[in-house]
Structure 1
Amino acid sequence: MVQEVFDAYSFVFEEELLEEISTVGIIKEFKENERIIEIGDHVTSMPLLISGAIKILREDQDGDELLLYFLERGDTCAMTLSCCLGHTKSEIRAVAELPTKLIMIPIEKMEEWTSKYKSWMNFVFESYHTRLSEMLDTIDTIAFLNMDERLLKYLRDKAKINQNELVQITHQQIAYDLHTSRVVISRLLKKLELKGTIALNRNSIKVIDL
């Protein structure tokens, strides 16, 4: 476990803090599409992503989901940080985009390390800034882009996260993530295919124009 933590976070934290993380942290592993955090959960520890990828989702009053952003190796979730520090329930759903390994940090250590390690404090503030920027980007995408542009951006993001131009996904799942209907997604995918931007296969989409 120590080596995995060093590999993922040695560029962020000093050796002493990395050793503390390895000592107090608890490793958890999740399968692809497994839920990691549910809306309404009490969050008592902060996740540091060692490998894999996570998508962070919000839910409206009708139960429809909206994708906010992705997390990758070396990241943490600012909204989870807020829940931990504020002792509030989770307002997001976190789902493993790929097979994912996390190290969970107890809430009391988060507070202790903020005053003890400058690198930890910087990491927390930078995480807030990065996630806020990504959420603003999501808002801009919804407000200013046409649905076909949103769809193409979504597919490009998925391809980059998975490091594979072939995105294994159904039209219905895309519709859930983009908060629209499967019929709309199917029509727009066909439109993008005619443009030569993507190639459609059964339950997968090849993103040609990355």
Structure 2
Amino acid sequence: MEHSWIDKFKGLSRLPDTVRNDLISGSQIVNVPAGTQIFAPGQTVDNLLLLLEGTVRVQQKSETGREVFLYRVHAGESCVLTTACMLAFEDYSADGIAETDVSAVAIPRQTFDDLVAKSPVFREFVFTAYSRRITDLFTLIDDIVFKRMDVRLASRLLELAGAGETVHATHAVLSTELGTAREVISRTLAEFQRRGWVEQSRGEVCLTDREGLERLARSATPEV
């Protein structure tokens, strides 16, 4: 793993051997269990984390105490907030939670700064990932401002279910995912169930009509 993890990240595989060796020797692989808070607001950023396995959920708490989901970091990706804080020498402003058991490469600030300065390939990797995630965040803002909640919930259920049929999440978790009140999620899910699109049980939502949800997710002017 120590000598092959670089090839798991598109862009890093083009690093010259000397830079690859510097990156490997100047970083370490860390493992954390599911549920671990990886970073928190006000915490100093000491390492850039590149995920090898698992997912990390990044969310922010509003002044009213409501938690708002920002994005997920998957295997083969880095965290844009960590990158931004590393570049700007600022502390974290959001929470990062391990949703699953996580394995990641921790690149210390000194190694990060050295490679950004001397390696065009590493620098391109960092800023390409940063740019891509910033675009995702603008899409999130657009969704929150302009998309109806039923459309967003249908899309998120399909995303969370993946190839399966069951989403393991409470109404409170889904409200965090979409930055709304739990009551709004409960009301919308009740309508989905009335239409035969989902069935609900404690902590789970079963997708019983994916096509119905997909039609809604594609709809610009849904009626629920």
SS in 2 for 1:62: coil
Aligned to 2:194: 194
Alignment coverage as a number of residue pairs: 208
Residue of structure 1 in register with 2:63 after alignment: 61
Q: TM-score, normalised by structure 2?
A: 0.83
State yes or no: 1:25 paired with 2:45: no
Is the Cα contact below 8 Å between 1:10 and 1:18 reproduced in 2?
Answer: no
Indicate conservation of the 8 Å contact 1:50/1:101, yes or no.
Answer: yes
Alignment correspondent of 2:46:
44
Are 1:81 and 2:83 counterparts?
yes
Deviation at 1:38, TM superposition (A): 0.5
1:123 CA displacement: 1.0
CA RMSD of aligned residues (A): 2.1
- For residue 118 of structure 1, what is the amino acid of its counterpart? P
Cα distance in 1 between the residues matched to 2:66 and 2:192:
25
1:100 and 1:18 map into 2 onto residues whose CA distance is 23
User: 1:187: how far off?
Assistant: 1.5
Q: Aligned residue for 1:203?
A: 203
Deviations 1:44-69 (A, max 9, x none): 11101111111111221122111111
> Does the aligned pair in 2 maintain the 1:68–1:134 contact within 8 Å?
no
How many angstroms apart in 1 are the aligned matches of 2:200 and 2:7? Answer: 37
- Residue deviations 1:141-181 (CA, integer Å, cap 9, x gap): 10111111121222223233xx6442211112212332322
Structure having the higher Rg: 2
Distance 1:23 1:38, change over 3 A: same
What is the one-letter code of the residue matched to 2:182? R
How many angstroms does 1:3 deviate by? 4.8
Q: Is the 8 A contact 2:50 2:106 kept in 1?
A: yes
Paired residues of 2:57 and 2:72 also in contact (CA < 8 A): yes
What letter is aligned with 2:97?
A: V
Judged with a 3 Å threshold, the aligned counterparts in structure 2 of structure 1 residues 8 and 159 are, in CA distance, closer, same or farther, namely: farther
The 8 Å contact of residues 45 and 90 in structure 2, kept in 1 or not, is answered as yes
- Aligned runs of 1:90-109 on 2, under 5 Å? 90-109=92-111
Percentage of identical aligned residues: 25
| Amino acid corresponding to residue 9 of structure 2 in structure 1 | Y
Conserved? CA contact 1:168–1:203, under 8 Å = yes
Contact kept, 8 Å, 1:40 with 1:90, in 2: the verdict is yes
Q: Is the 8 A contact 1:168 1:205 kept in 2?
A: yes
TM-score where L is the length of structure 1: 0.88
Instruction: Give 1:4 deviation, angstroms.
Output: 5.5
Q: Is the 8 A contact 2:59 2:96 kept in 1?
A: yes
Q: 1:8 to 1:165 in 2, by over 3 A?
A: farther
Q: Structure 2: how far apart are the matches of 1:198 and 1:19?
A: 51
